[in-house]
C-alpha cells in the first residue's frame, strides 16, 4: 500500500464463541495480580510450599531418565500414559484400599485436565452438573465452558447432604456430581464416611456419575483416613476418581490421573488425544523413576508435619485477626481453611483495601455456583512459615478493622 492509496476498510474483528464470551474477565483476579509483589503475604495463592519440594530427588530422577532412556524420554508416547507410571500409580491406589490395575488409569496433564476431559466426555450443552457449595473454582470454569448448568447441592459444615442430593438428582436429572470429599478446596472440609456411603448409594440407585476429585487426601495432619466414595459398593461402575502429584510432589510436573470404568476412560482418552496427544513423556518417566527410587510416603509425612504446624499457626492467629462473630473451619489436612465474617462484611469489597496492607485472601463469592456468600474467604495456610502467617494475620486484622464493614 502506498501513501496515496486509501486504507482498506476492515471488517469487525471476528467474534469469539459464545462460551468464551460468557466466561469474561474476573475483577478478583485483577486485584490478586497485585499480590505478586514480594512484600505481600499471600494467603490467596494455593501454592504448595516450594522449599519442601524434593528438588534434588526429582532432579536425580530426571538425570537417570536422560542417562538411561533419552530417546524414549524425548519421544511421543501413548495417550493413556507411560506404563511404568501407570503401574506405580495403580499400586499406590490399590494399597489405599481400591483395587486398581494400570489399565484402569489414564494419565492426565494435572487433574485439571481430567476435569476438561470429563466435561467433554459426559456433558451435553445445557446438562446439569451438581457441585458442592462452595466449589473448586476451576471446576466451575470447566463445567461452565462445556455449557453445563451448575447447581449446588445443599450441605452443612460437614459437606454435602446426601438427602438433599437424592432430592436434587430426582428433580434435576443431572449428568454428574462433582465432589472433593477430602480436605475440600476451598473449605478444607472432609465428608464423613457415612455420608460417602450414602452418596454412593444415591448414585447406585438413581444412576449418576460421581467425579471424586482427591488432590489433597494424602496431606493428612491428624485423624483417620476416610475411604474414597469410589470404594463403596454400587459406586464402582459410576465413579471417576481423580488423583494428582501436584500437592505431594510438585505442581510444575503437571501430572495427574483419572481412574474410570473402561467405556468412559476410552472416551476421555479420545478427548485427551484431541487436547494434547499425551502428557509429557519425560515428566511421566521421571515421576515413575522417582516413585521407584524414593519413598514418596515418607516425603509426604514430612510435608504434612510442616503443613500441620502452619495450620496451627493460622488457627492460633485467627481469633485476633477476624472480627467478633466470625467462624472458620478446622481442617484435618490439605491446604485451605474457610472463614465467614459476620454480616454485613463483604470480602470482595474489602479486598482492595486489605491488599494495601500487604496481605491477601481469596473472597468466597466466586466459589459459589449461585447465591454467593459474600462474607466468606479462603485462606491458604501452607505457603508461609508460622512467623509469616502470624504477621500476615496481624496485617489482615488491621486491614479488616481499617476498612471495616462496607
Ligand atoms: C480440587 C482441585 N482439583 C484439581 C486441581 C488441579 O490440580 P492439578 O491440575 O495441579 O493436578 C486443584 C488445584 O488446586 C484442586 O484444588
Q: pLDDT grade, residue 404 (50/70/90)?
A: low
229 and 329 in a single domain? The answer is: no
Note down the domain range covering 308.
22-53+298-404
Q: pLDDT grade, residue 22 (50/70/90)?
A: confident
* pLDDT value at residue 271: 98
285 and 360 in a single domain? The answer is: no
CA distance readout (Å), 113 to 104, 251, 279: 17, 13, 10
* pLDDT value at residue 3: 60
Mean pLDDT lowest for which of 8-12, 181-185, 263-267? Answer: 8-12
Given a cut of 90, whether residue 384 has pLDDT beyond it is yes
* pLDDT value at residue 318: 98
* Percent of the chain topping pLDDT 90: 88
Residues with CB under 6 A from ligand 1: 46, 110-112, 136, 180, 185, 213, 215, 244, 246, 251, 256
Q: Over the stretch 67-85, which tens digit does the pLDDT of each residue have? A: 999 999 999 999 999 999 9
- CA pair distance 255, 233, nearest whole angstrom: 29
* pLDDT value at residue 5: 79
| DSSP-assigned beta bridge partners for residue 338 | 378
* pLDDT value at residue 202: 97
Q: What is the CATH classification number for the domain harbouring 353? A: 3.90.1150.10
Length of the chain: 406
Per DSSP, the three-state class of 92 is helix
Given a cut of 70, whether residue 140 has pLDDT beyond it is yes
Q: Considering only CA atoms, which residue is closest to atom 5 of ligand 1?
A: 112
202 and 235 in a single domain? The answer is: yes
Task: State which of 242, 262, 293 marks the end of a domain.
Answer: 293
79 and 44 in a single domain? The answer is: no
- CA pair distance 65, 8, nearest whole angstrom: 56
Residue 111 CA to ligand 1 centre (angstroms): 6
Burial of 24 from C-beta contacts in 10 A (0-12 / 13-18 / 19+): exposed
93 and 194 in a single domain? The answer is: yes
- Please report whether residue 205 resides in a domain: yes
- Please report whether residue 344 resides in a domain: yes
- Please report whether residue 9 resides in a domain: no
38 or 107, higher pLDDT = 107
85 and 28 in a single domain? The answer is: no
Q: pLDDT grade, residue 26 (50/70/90)?
A: low
* pLDDT value at residue 84: 98
Query: Ligand 1: which of 46, 108, 215, 217 to mutate, most ligand atoms within 8 Å of CB?
Result: 215
Given a cut of 70, whether residue 92 has pLDDT beyond it is yes
Q: Find the DSSP H helices in 207-294.
A: 262-276, 281-293
- Please report whether residue 61 resides in a domain: no
Residue 110 CA to ligand 1 centre (angstroms): 7
- CA pair distance 394, 322, nearest whole angstrom: 10
Residue 304 CA to ligand 1 centre (angstroms): 18
- CA pair distance 364, 104, nearest whole angstrom: 36
Q: Considering only CA atoms, which residue is closest to atom 14 of ligand 1?
A: 46
Residue 401 CA to ligand 1 centre (angstroms): 33
Residue 325 CA to ligand 1 centre (angstroms): 31
Task: State which of 293, 318, 353 marks the end of a domain.
Answer: 293
Across all residues in the chain, what is the average pLDDT? Answer: 94
- CA pair distance 335, 183, nearest whole angstrom: 8
119 and 268 in a single domain? The answer is: yes
Per DSSP, the three-state class of 252 is helix
- Please report whether residue 16 resides in a domain: no
Residues 15/175/338/330 CA torsion (nearest 10 deg): -160
Task: State which of 234, 266, 293 marks the end of a domain.
Answer: 293
**C-beta separation of 213 from 143 below 8 A:** no
> What is the gyration radius of the CA atoms in the chain, in angstroms?
22
Q: Which atom of ligand 1 is nearest to the CA of 246?
A: 10
Residue 189 CA to ligand 1 centre (angstroms): 16
- Please report whether residue 4 resides in a domain: no
Q: Which atom of ligand 1 is nearest to the CA of 244?
A: 11
* pLDDT value at residue 403: 81
* pLDDT value at residue 67: 98
27 and 80 in a single domain? The answer is: no
Given a cut of 60, whether residue 286 has pLDDT beyond it is yes
Residue 131 CA to ligand 1 centre (angstroms): 15
Residue 139 CA to ligand 1 centre (angstroms): 9
Q: pLDDT grade, residue 31 (50/70/90)?
A: low
276 and 378 in a single domain? The answer is: no
Q: Over the stretch 227-250, which tens digit does the pLDDT of each residue have? A: 999 999 889 899 999 999 999 999
**For residues 141-147, average pLDDT:** 93
Query: Ligand 1: which of 111, 118, 251 to mutate, most ligand atoms within 8 Å of CB?
Result: 111
Please give the model's pTM, rounded to 2 decimal places.
0.95
169 and 271 in a single domain? The answer is: yes
Q: Considering only CA atoms, which residue is closest to atom 16 of ligand 1?
A: 185
Mean pLDDT lowest for which of 7-11, 88-92, 166-170, 327-331? Answer: 7-11
- Please report whether residue 17 resides in a domain: no
99 and 239 in a single domain? The answer is: yes
* pLDDT value at residue 131: 98
Q: What is the CATH classification number for the domain harbouring 197? A: 3.40.640.10
316 or 7, higher pLDDT = 316
Number of structural domains (the chain) is 2
174 and 228 in a single domain? The answer is: yes
**C-beta separation of 111 from 215 below 8 A:** yes
Given a cut of 70, whether residue 406 has pLDDT beyond it is no
- Please report whether residue 122 resides in a domain: yes
20 or 64, higher pLDDT = 64
Amino acid at each position: 500500500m502506498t501513501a496515496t492509496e486509501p486504507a482498506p476498510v476492515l471488517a469487525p474483528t471476528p467474534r469469539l464463541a459464545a462460551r468464551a464470551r460468557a466466561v469474561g474477565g474476573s475483577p478478583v483476579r485483577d486485584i490478586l495480580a497485585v499480590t505478586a509483589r514480594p512484600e505481600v503475604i499471600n494467603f490467596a495463592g494455593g501454592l504448595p510450599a516450594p522449599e519442601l519440594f524434593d528438588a534434588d530427588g526429582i532432579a536425580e530422577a530426571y538425570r537417570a531418565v536422560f542417562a538411561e532412556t533419552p530417546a524414549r524420554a524425548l519421544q511421543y508416547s501413548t495417550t493413556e500414559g507411560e506404563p511404568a507410571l501407570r503401574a506405580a500409580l495403580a499400586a499406590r491406589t490399590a494399597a489405599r484400599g481400591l483395587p486398581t490395575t494400570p489399565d484402569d488409569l489414564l494419565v492426565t496433564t494435572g487433574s485439571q485436565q481430567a476435569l476438561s476431559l470429563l466435561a467433554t466426555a459426559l456433558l451435553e450443552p445445557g446438562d446439569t452438573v451438581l457441585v458442592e457449595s462452595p466449589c473448586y473454582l476451576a471446576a466451575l470454569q470447566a463445567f461452565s465452558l462445556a455449557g453445563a448448568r451448575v447447581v449446588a447441592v445443599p450441605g452443612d459444615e460437614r459437606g454435602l447432604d446426601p438427602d438433599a442430593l437424592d432430592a436434587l438428582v430426582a428433580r434435576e436429572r443431572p449428568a454428574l456430581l462433582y465432589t472433593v470429599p477430602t480436605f475440600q478446596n476451598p473449605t478444607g472440609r472432609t465428608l464423613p464416611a457415612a455420608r460417602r456411603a450414602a452418596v454412593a448409594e444415591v448414585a447406585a440407585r438413581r444412576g449418576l456419575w460421581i467425579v471424586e476429585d482427591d488432590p489433597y487426601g494424602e496431606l493428612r495432619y491428624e485423624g483417620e483416613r476416610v475411604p474414597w466414595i469410589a470404594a463403596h459398593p454400587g459406586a464402582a461402575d459410576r465413579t471417576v476418581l481423580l488423583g494428582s502429584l501436584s500437592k505431594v510432589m510438585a505442581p510444575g510436573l503437571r501430572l495427574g490421573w483419572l481412574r474410570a470404568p473402561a467405556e468412559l476412560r476410552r472416551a476421555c482418552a479420545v478427548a485427551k488425544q484431541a487436547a494434547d496427544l499425551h502428557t509429557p513423556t519425560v515428566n511421566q518417566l521421571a515421576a515413575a523413576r522417582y516413585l521407584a527410587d524414593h519413598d514418596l510416603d515418607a516425603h509426604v509425612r514430612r510435608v504434612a508435619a510442616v503443613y500441620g504446624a502452619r495450620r496451627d499457626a493460622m488457627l492460633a492467629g485467627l481469633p485476633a485477626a477476624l472480627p467478633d462473630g466470625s467462624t472458620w473451619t478446622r481442617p484435618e489436612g490439605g491446604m485451605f481453611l474457610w472463614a465467614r465474617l459476620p454480616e454485613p462484611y463483604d470480602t470482595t469489597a474489602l479486598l482492595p483495601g486489605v491488599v494495601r496492607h500487604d496481605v491477601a485472601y481469596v473472597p468466597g463469592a466466586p466459589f459459589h455456583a449461585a447465591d454467593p456468600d459474600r462474607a466468606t474467604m479462603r485462606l491458604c495456610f501452607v505457603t508461609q512459615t508460622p512467623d509469616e502467617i502470624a504477621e500476615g494475620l496481624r496485617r489482615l486484622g488491621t486491614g479488616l478493622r481499617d476498612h471495616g464493614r462496607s
